Structure 1
């Protein structure tokens, strides 16, 4: 509500109805304080000329209801009507009653329409589903709608049938015997000539008339019904006793209860309606005179406490209490599925929240407040209905202006335009009700967008907030940036700028609540508080790290971290390399590593970093402290200056030189263009030193270095650009270079294994059969000796000359030292204490077990395999581990666990191990 809307309060009354409090505020302007209005209402003169100021108060009624709850709440078993009354008064007993109702239905004890209606009302009130009761899921409402002789009990049965169907929001069937219209028509057509109803015709009966009026209350707006209701009320008023009570031949408390239920169901004031005040005493006041010292009620005015009268009193006083609180009538009921989420925000924070059923916004609110045992106060104006005055002791006008309790409803994610008070606003299943303390400037949050919506650990979050207001002149919702909103998450608070944006620094992994509000210490909130859950995913990646100083390698190896800086710090700590990380306005940066500090050469030289991802350089536009890594990245931290270049790419020609064949190494650089945000074209790097084995050369102006042919082997091409009194002009780069001959059967090697077989020969890891160089026999099954030996070599294990203790491994066998090293490292064992079976072939699942032991692998999830049932139980975890971590590969969804592991497959596996071991 906007402040300018106060002008012409009555002329723009609908504007004020946007929130539950606004009507009261308008009245305050025109008529004076609300307290004055209430006082005027309480001193209204009755027809008898006597004041009704002494009518029972809400507090008195509430106290009586609380005492009755204490008395009747102990009942065990709890009867249908007691269960109904307790639930409608706010004390749910579903856990005790519903199993009992199930037994009652299963036992077949329900015969009359009133039986079905009574149980349906009690089940519905206690959170059950009246359409599915008992083991047989009996539909009590369907039974009622199709009861053939529904009128055999006179008006009682149609009346209670109507109450039960309406309470549970019964959806009629196409072939139902009785519709609601049928029941209403029957009741209207069967009234007595005096205007009331009775069970057998003739003179009308107070109780029956009151019950029928209660049933017809939901249809009072129908023209044919309203006239009938007026006549029945006139008859009831005429038979009211001078004491204010009812009953014939004797006055009873139960008759007064039925009248009070009828009046409140019709929305009539049970304490001040002049038609039902005799000698200054209302029916409500008269009923309370039946109350005994112990809180129970009597049947007759001068009688003793009576059990039936006591639970009837609970029904009547609960009906009155609900009317005073602006809630729907006693029998209004709620659909079992119609639950609403409710949040109550006070002037400085959340007061209560929960989920509750309620036909109106006010009813859902009251149910949540009662469940949380939070006090509230509702005033009921005789003309304008229920107005919320206070919650948890916070009353309207706290800040001395037109501030107070308001409400808003979000439906299907959109705020509903409201033109009525909380006491009449009808809720729908799934609605989100926000009750809040606000003022003329309090605005609804239209949207809150988080970017990224699912942030990762270490990743900053941008929050954009929009507000909305309803323009009553144009009839449209106006959305704009929400400036000055407070965004809170993880102990951090940031205010939105003029564009509604706020930036939250990187968060650690975990669950957070993001709140947006406009709380102020000296005024109502500027925004209705908004909140949502935010999950920040744990972010740790496995990478490799190289730290290149101005004169050599300081550290290298594998590390883990979410950001580049985390991975670097982990590696440096593991390698015991001293370092200094500093904070700045732009984030954390590396000042020194291994004693080499930034500015060593007196210029803009210092520690820089770049990342190799998927074989290509990434030049980050942010610091190492915020750059997020991906699995497999290589973080290169280097000491450099303005002239330092990254070798990109380093190529060898021919790409795979043969033993003794001369080759060239070309070094180029692609500079990053910060204007276009892309790499420039490659340019040669002159003066770089190229080292391969013991051979060295320097690149010319074309970036080329010529080298003589080398013997077969696995080499590393190293490119450096160290300078004597300056930062390096090229960051050290290394490239693997296998130089190997070809096998006679090289063409038989599968394309996916060609490189691995060549590297395996050059390393050497797994060579050909026979003399090791003639034929590779790629499809032949690998032996235990071949695979274990290759695995030991890939891992860099060194065996002794003593061989092994296995009798079937000669000490001079080519694989003896390697197998001995593997056994000594605990990676493999024999098939028995004395036998290794070196010539036995390996199955794929056996290879998986060996790999799991050697690399200490563990399965972290389950990969679906079509042939999973063929895998041995002892190998299942190993198979899962090697697949998940990429050491072995299934084909077409199958692992083929019993198939032999071929030599080319073995070559691929051991080369993967070698590359992982040496980065």
Structure 2
């Protein structure tokens, strides 16, 4: 849910403020009243005036000078990275050499390198050139860790915390051990030193920085307070630190400790002397060239400049509300950060950050976008502006807010950005919003995988948090703007909007609530929508006024696209004209509309799943579906479309008489549905060479026919007029049954019958006894079936291949395929006729025979199992409908069964017709 990055009614207030009046008071408090309180807290005669701009300028100068170091040392690499200029590309290779050289001896050596590697984006658990050295393990198991006094345990603790060390069960030193040692080994005056006795500012500063992460522990909190009291007493009247001589390094070390503990380095009265803060005093060591001196009035000093970079960076991070200097960089996956302004996206990026504010600042700094952050004495860091847009722009409770999405859901937030802990993979949304700005809960597109030119419904839900019940409330998002491919629509009261998809491709789909002169109503949402190319495999018949014009398989998204593809492939002249109602077919094969002087012309209809569809739109916009039969016919007002004929018996046996019944269901434009079926009398029906005319019942009787595959045709041509009945054709197989007919799968029954009647692929040995539908098809059977389906003649394979007998039933068919260049042997003189075929091998043979080419890529779950040489063939046969995957798998290594081969052969036969 929503969190406020700047002036929010949610930050620390939601638990006790209730009602509009209370919210108003709270926002007033956050929007302005606290400024006076902050100044009052820093009073006591002090007039601190060090600004973030001064600090930033000083840091920039130090980055410029220290960044020239080559090679870059561990500490300088650390300082540059923590100040916003990582040097990983130069430093990490040097660090690997240092780790591998064996030069790291002390625990502070390991800690120093670990801190620098982590700050520059490296993995301290996999250090060294080979990535086999775990620096944190080395630290946690360093036996003599206390030999260097408090420094070693302190730096060890900093390094372990910075990289998020997960302790081992047998580690020599745990974090608790290190904290306890530091607590137990302080001096009587409250500070620390390398040797027991009088405390040292620098050592006390580094120990306090190490203990900062544990300040909420009761046993730690008290000793930190005592140490701060000692530090305050050790501060000089100049506001600086150092003993016996005041130095910039000691002052910088104190600033690091204060910022790590969350203490204001400018205004905290304990560390302001004579109206001057320790931060202001450090800047007095700065020279005109931007470097720093060891002592006031001294010369530029490399160590002093480096410590100044650390101290100033610690102070700047405190001003920006970021974790302390030694807080470390998350080595897990970076968070996605999206910043939304008043009318669009300000920036987007990925960044690591221990807090939401740190991730935001890292992205804004990387994009060089200005921002402003103030520190509230009670609520911490508050985001004031981004890219020049200040809070309160519209005079209400509007300002910069934030939300975090984790694992796909918005997180309920009750704290500011400066303390909200980010997790790997979080999505941070920072946006300018008002009291009515709402998060988008979900965006659903139906259908989820739309096609080009399809109308889609986008449903948007919003979510709010009911602070009384503590529950998320999800409801329809009314008035949200939905954008897709240049089109925009607003959601209705049900949160729904309809848009038409653009051409095939990947598109951004966006939802927002931007408006003029007010904060947005919705936090912007963005996603991707894949629009699939809309191309379908169909069959097309073009029926003229006196005869068939063309037929065959074609591809197209619309009826007009499929028609034009077929006519072009068949070299049939045609003309497409434009009108106020869109494109239409004006002429095909020289037959133009209005030939008979009436309302006659080219019309179209579609057979889908065995039933007619009479479109109420033009061919240029009517969308086809896979397997449609597009019928384009020349007709007039009286032209009828015959329903699929009824044959009785449905599957006549050889020599068995049968009856064909022809009917028509007229489309009623008033009711927008078909009328009841009525018989068509006077239609001419032909089965092979036999012809009959339907009676008043629409029936035509035929005597028994020999086994074979027949074309059943219905026509109603008229003299000097458009046809009474548009020509229709169907395949009528008349065939006997196999002994194992019941073993044939239902989806293959018709294909097996047609394959026998044609004949294409008959029973075993080209016989009619048994079919063996589940048995793997052989090379000879499949190639012979393809040759027969394609009508290939001539040639004998026995002369080319030693393993094909001249009397083999398949010899001539294989020979015809070889002569046509469709197939070759497996080696010189060998065809391997009895070898079985895998599905990918069948795809290769089929692709060669039909000269197929893949035009796109179909996603397959088992794509990696396909032989590289067969990938293009598999894609081609799937895309063009010759072979079919099952549940997203092609099963390339599986054998092609005989019933599957019969289906493929019949498809080839039908396409040829």
**TM-score, normalized by the shorter chain, greater than 0.5:** yes
3-state secondary structure, aligned to 1:63:
helix
Task: Determine if the alignment matches structure 1 residue 371 to structure 2 residue 370.
Answer: no
Question: Does 2:533 match 1:538?
Answer: yes
Residue number among 252, 256, 265 corresponding to 2:260 in the alignment: 265
Preserved CA contact (<8 Å) 1:154 1:199? yes
- More divergent stretch after superposition (244-253 vs 211-220): 211-220
Cα 1:516–1:768 shift into 2, 3 Å: closer
In structure 1, distance between residues paired with 2:407 and 2:783: 63
The whole-number CA distance in structure 2 between the counterparts of 1:913 and 1:708 is 30
Q: Deviations over 1:760-807 (max 9, x none)?
A: 78767799999x9x999999x99999999986664356889xxxx99x
- 1:191 aligns with 186
2:92 match: 98
Q: Which whole-Å CA distance do the structure 1 matches of 2:191 and 2:763 have between them?
A: 109
Structure 1 residue 395 corresponds to structure 2 residue 394? no
**Which residue does 1:609 correspond to in 2?**
605
Matches within 5 A, 1:759-838: 794-795=789-790
CA contact (8 A) 1:601 1:727 kept: no
How far 1:298 sits from its partner (Å)? 1.5
Residue 14 of structure 1: aligned partner: 14
1:204 equivalenced with 2:204 (yes/no): no
For 2:316 and 2:906, locate their aligned partners in 1 and report how far apart those are by CA, in whole Å. 81
Matched, 1:65 2:62: no
Task: Compute the displacement of 1:503 (Å).
Answer: 0.9
Structure 2 CA distance for aligned equivalents of residues 179 and 851 of structure 1: 69
1:307 aligns with 2:312: no
Distance 1:484 1:554, change over 3 A: farther
The CA distance in 1 between the partners of 2:162 and 2:11, in whole Å, is: 37
Q: Residue 125 of structure 2 aligns with which residue?
A: 131
Question: Cα gap change, 1:109/1:405 in structure 2, threshold over 3 Å: closer, same or farther?
Answer: same
Whether the 8 Å CA contact 1:458–1:628 is kept in 2: the answer is: no
More divergent stretch after superposition (222-231 vs 371-380)? 222-231
SS in 1 for 2:238: coil
Note closer, same or farther for the CA distance 1:353–1:224 as it changes in structure 2 (3 Å cut): same
Residue in structure 2 matched with residue 289 of structure 1 by the alignment: 284
1:338 is displaced (CA, Å) by 5.6
**Partner residue of 2:575?**
578
Residues 387 and 26 (structure 1), Cα distance of their counterparts in 2 relative to 1, 3 Å cut: farther
Match of 1:811 in 2: none
Shift, 1:675, TM fit: 13
Residue pair 2:665, 2:674 contacting (<8 A) in 1 also: yes
The whole-number CA distance in structure 1 between the counterparts of 2:111 and 2:566 is: 75
Q: Distance in 2 between matches of 1:552 and 1:736?
A: 18
Aligned length: 881
* Conserved 8 A contact 1:765-1:793: yes
* 1:67-89 deviations in Å (ceiling 9; x for gaps): 21122222222211111111111
* Mapping for residues 366-445 of structure 1, pairs under 5 Å: 366-445=361-440
Please, which moves more after superposition, 291-300 or 541-550? Answer: 541-550
- CA RMSD across the alignment: 5.1
Q: CA deviation at 1:657?
A: 5.2
Q: Tell which deviates more after alignment, 313-322 or 70-79.
A: 70-79
Label 1:612 to 1:301 Cα distance change in 2 as closer, same or farther (>3 A): same
2:223 counterpart of 1:224: no
- Aligned partners of 1:487 and 1:494 also within 8 Å: yes
The residue correspondences of 1:314-393 to structure 2 (distance < 5 A) are: 314-337=309-332, 339-393=334-388
Query: Residue 100 of structure 1: CA displacement?
Result: 2.2
Give the TM-score taking structure 1 as reference length.
0.82
Residues 178-200 of structure 1: CA deviation (Å, up to 9, x unaligned): 22222222222222111111111
Could you list the per-position Cα deviations for residues 282-316 of structure 1 after superposition, in whole angstroms to 9, with x for gaps in the alignment?
A: 11111111112222111111221111111111110
The Cα of 1:495 is off from its aligned counterpart by 1.0
Partner of 1:169 in structure 2? 164
Which range is displaced more, 874-883 or 696-705?
A: 874-883
User: Which whole-Å CA distance do the structure 2 matches of 1:852 and 1:88 have between them?
Assistant: 61
Match of 1:113 among 101, 107, 118: 107
Question: Following the alignment from structure 2 to structure 1, what is the Cα–Cα distance between the partners of residues 721 and 650?
Answer: 34
For 1:654 and 1:308, the matched residues in 2 are separated by: 99
- Any idea what SS the aligned residue of 2:359 has? helix
Q: Secondary structure at the match of 1:420?
A: coil
Task: Tell me how far 1:116 sits from its aligned partner.
Answer: 1.9
- Paired with 2:164 and 2:752, the residues of 1 have a C-alpha distance of 75
Question: In the alignment, which residue of structure 1 is the partner of 2:499?
Answer: 504
* Stretch moving more, 300-309 or 509-518: 300-309
Residues 861, 644 of structure 1: alpha-carbon distance in 2 compared, 3 angstrom cutoff: closer
C-alpha contact (below 8 Å) 1:619/1:672 kept by paired residues: yes
2:149 paired with 1:141 = no
| Structure 1 residue corresponding to 2:659, chosen from 645, 664, 679 | 664
Name the counterpart of 1:29.
28
Pair 1:270–1:862, CA change in 2 (3 A): closer
Correspondent of 2:83 among 86, 89, 92:
89
Q: How far apart are the structure 1 equivalents of 2:235 and 2:777? A: 105
Greater mean alpha carbon deviation, residues 105-114 or residues 365-374: 105-114
Aligned residue among 448, 462, 467 for 1:467: 462
Q: Distance in 2 between matches of 1:321 and 1:713?
A: 91
Q: 2:149, 2:119 → 1: CA distance?
A: 25
Contact preservation (8 Å) 1:647, 1:731? no
Matched position secondary structure for 1:690: strand
Any conservation in 2 of the 1:544–1:559 contact (CA below 8 Å)? Answer: yes
For 1:340 and 1:768, locate their aligned partners in 2 and report how far apart those are by CA, in whole Å: 64
Quote the residue 1:718 is aligned against. Answer: 713
* CA distance in structure 1 between the aligned counterparts of 2:131 and 2:9, rounded to whole angstroms: 58
Q: For 1:578, what is the secondary structure of its paired residue?
A: strand
Question: Do the aligned partners of residues 345 and 641 (structure 1) sit closer, same or farther apart at CA in structure 2, a change above 3 Å counting?
Answer: farther
What are the equivalent positions in structure 2 for 1:447-596 lying under 5 Å apart? 447-548=442-543, 553-572=548-567, 574=569, 575-580=572-577, 594=588
Instruction: State the 1:858 CA deviation.
Output: 5.3
Check 1:550–1:40 CA distance in 2 against 1; reply closer, same or farther (3 A cut). Answer: farther
Distance 1:386 1:501, change over 3 A: same
Structure 1 residue 457, shift from structure 2 partner:
3.0
Which secondary structure state, in structure 1, belongs to the residue aligned with residue 462 of structure 2?
strand
| Cα distance, 1:908–1:686 mapped onto 2, change above 3 Å | same
Cα distance change of structure 1 residues 883 and 777 upon mapping to structure 2, 3 Å threshold: farther
Cα pair 2:240 2:246 within 8 Å, conserved:
yes
2:250 is aligned to 255
Aligned partners of 1:657 and 1:663 also within 8 Å: no
What SS does the corresponding residue of 1:706 show, helix, strand or coil? strand
Distance 2:670 2:366 in 1: 62
Q: Does 1:651 align with 2:643?
A: no
| Cα 1:524/1:829, change in 2 over 3 Å | closer
Gap runs ≥5 in structure 1: 809-813
Cα distance in 1, alignment partners of residues 878 and 446 from structure 2: 34
CA deviation map 1:90-109 (0-9, x unaligned): 11122222222222222222
| CA distance in 2: counterparts of 1:50 and 1:848, whole angstroms | 87
Whole-angstrom distance in 1 between the partners of 2:337 and 2:8: 33
What is the TM-score when the length of structure 2 is the normalising length?
Answer: 0.82
- Say which is worse superposed, 627-636 or 378-387, in terms of deviation: 627-636
Q: CA deviation at 1:686?
A: 4.4
Mapped contact 1:652–1:665 kept (Cα < 8 A): yes
3-state DSSP class of the match of 1:169? coil
Is the CA contact 1:792–1:821 (under 8 Å) kept in the aligned structure 2? yes
Instruction: For residue 131 of structure 1, give the secondary structure of its aligned residue in structure 2.
Output: helix
Query: Any stretches of 5+ residues in structure 2 without a counterpart?
Result: 803-808
